[in-house]
Structure 1
Amino acid sequence: MDPWILAPAFFIGALLYSSVGHGGASAYLAIMALAHAAPESMRPLALALNLVVAGVAALQYARAGFLDWRLLWPFVLGSVPLAYLGGLIDLPEFWYRSAIGLVLLYAAVSLWWGSIRADEAPAKAPPIPVAVAAGGVLGLAAGLTGVGGGIFLSPLLMLMNWARAKPTAAVSALFIWLNSLSGLLAQAERVPPILDELLWAAPAVLAGGLLGAWIGARRTPPRLLRRLLSVVLLVAAWKLLATAVAAWPTGG
């Protein structure tokens, strides 16, 4: 992977995603897919970068007073163990590329939807058993695909009216950080080969994450940037799904 090309791309992805409380794993996966990165390095690198950016975003939103621990803990209780389990599972190339493509497609639609939806009725937290069960499903999906799960949790919180926009971003950031750590622990043996990439990728996403989280927590989130990002993810999703079709196992 060429750091002179990918570092700026990672910076932009981190900036855009951290502005809405996300770690950016789906953006990093999209960038690496477009750069033809090895599939076995994509998941651990995306999770490691998620830890950097989601950690920054969580701190910024917590300092701004938006973190709701009572909303967060039931989702985390269900998600973290299953994120670890999902991280232990290696999908065949066809299924992995299909899963990532669908995740990116979902992220694109969610980002576009989030850019046009405004807060409406007062939010009401879900029953604890519902939140734990939902967290488990989201954690498993996150571990399987190498993301932190924020792209699943954020639209769920908003669509179900369980949280307003900035508390959603705050809760999602810490949810992502914990799930990313859990998933990365399951991928621990794959971390040493990506250390060289982390030396240039981590500073790039740290800089983008600091700027984006400050914009998101202290300023109005940039709707236009989210829409542009959704278009980029849509293109990457199309590419991954197309290559997944090419990797379809055939008999004979």
Structure 2
Amino acid sequence: MGMAATLYASVGHGGASAYLAIMALAGIAPETMRPTALALNLVVSAIAFANYARAGHFDWRLFVTVAIPAIPLAFIGGMAQLPDQLYRPVVGAILLFAAIQFAWKPNRATRQPPRPAILAGSGGALGLLAGLTGTGGGIFLSPLLLSTGWAKPRTTAAVAAAFIFVNSLAGLAGNLSALGELPQGLGWLALAVGAGGLVGSRLGAVVVSRTILMRSLALVLVIAGGKLLLT
């Protein structure tokens, strides 16, 4: 899980989709997987946000506009159980399509974001999807911001990290309201992903080029999309 956290944190993500895939392969019970993934998301996304924000890439206005409507809907989504057959094929295909676009054309022009109402509506929809899927929503927000040109890659990573944190917190709260307690043994997993998050987010925020960052995101989306389609 530490290696997954390194890769995901390099693009401002928490790694929930990878943690879910790893736990599925390990045969962990589904009711344990989602709160575990969300809790680990909190650790990695907080570290990624700190590194990207410290490097000057965070856009508060963009974050607030998408996050405020997302938080309550992520909580609602965390309480609900969406049948796998309704979202896995569609979302997985969308993520794979986005991955191909970012790998093929990593240098994209940016333009002014749309009206706040459009951003807010997008944020609310992504928050609900984040809660339903047990992720922080970054695997959906990053493709949206980058494919539309609404934010630069590193700004996208910074905003996505903060978005993932607040949605993971809301989704976990909603999930715990139904389950009542956190899974056992989170401490060692949190240390592993925290170490990976420190390395990955530092590389993404300061060291790697725009092209490498976009192709790293493409790889993350391939992993996430493949996990949704194959598990």
Map of 1:84 onto structure 2: 75
Instruction: Report the residue type matching 1:42 in the other structure.
Output: M
| Cα deviation 1:62-110 (Å, max 9, x = unaligned) | 000000001111100111110001011123xxx2366356545544443
The one-letter code sitting in structure 1 at the alignment partner of 2:66 is F
Q: Say which SS state the counterpart of residue 177 (structure 1) adopts.
A: helix
1:117 shift after superposition: 3.0
Match of 2:134 in 1: 146
5+ residue gaps, structure 1, are: 1-9, 241-252
Pairwise CA distance, 1:35: 1.8
* Aligned residue number for residue 246 of structure 1: none
Distance in 2 (CA, whole Å) between partners of 1:128 and 1:225 is 29
Q: Aligned equivalents of 2:40 and 2:10: distance in 1?
A: 15
Alignment of 1:94-113 (within 5 A): 95-96=83-84, 99-100=87-88, 102-113=90-101
SS of structure 1 residue aligned to 2:184: helix
Q: Deviations over 1:104-123 (max 9, x none)?
A: 55444434433343343343
The answer to whether residue 108 in structure 2 is matched with residue 120 in structure 1 is yes
Identify the residue that residue 209 of structure 1 maps to in structure 2: 197
Call closer, same or farther: CA 1:238–1:123 in 2, change over 3 Å: same
Match of 1:158 among 133, 139, 146: 146
Given the alignment of the two structures, is residue 58 of structure 1 paired with residue 49 of structure 2, yes or no? yes
- Could you tell me whether the CA contact under 8 Å between 1:123 and 1:164 is conserved in 2? no
Task: State whether structure 2 residue 189 is matched by structure 1 residue 195.
Answer: no
Structure 1 residues 122 and 226, CA gap change in structure 2 (3 angstroms) = closer
Q: For residues 87 and 226 of structure 1, what CA distance do their matches in structure 2 show?
A: 25
TM-score between the two structures when normalised by the length of structure 2: 0.88
TM-superposition CA deviations, 1:143-180 (whole Å, max 9, x none): 01100001111010011110011101111100000000
Report how far residue 200 of structure 1 moved.
1.8
Structure 1 pair 218–106 and aligned structure 2 pair: CA distance change class (3 A): same
Matched with 1:15 is 6
The CA RMSD measured in Å over matched residues stands at 2.2
Whole-Å Cα distance in 1 between the matches of residues 220 and 108 of structure 2?
25
Aligned with 1:194: secondary structure? coil
Q: Is 1:184 equivalent to 2:175 in the alignment?
A: no
Which of the pair has more CA radius of gyration?
Answer: 1
**Structure 2 runs not aligned, ≥5 long:** none
- For the residues of structure 2 that align with 1:147 and 1:51, how far apart are their CA atoms? 10
Q: How big is the shift at 1:128?
A: 0.5
Overall identity of the aligned pairs, in %: 44
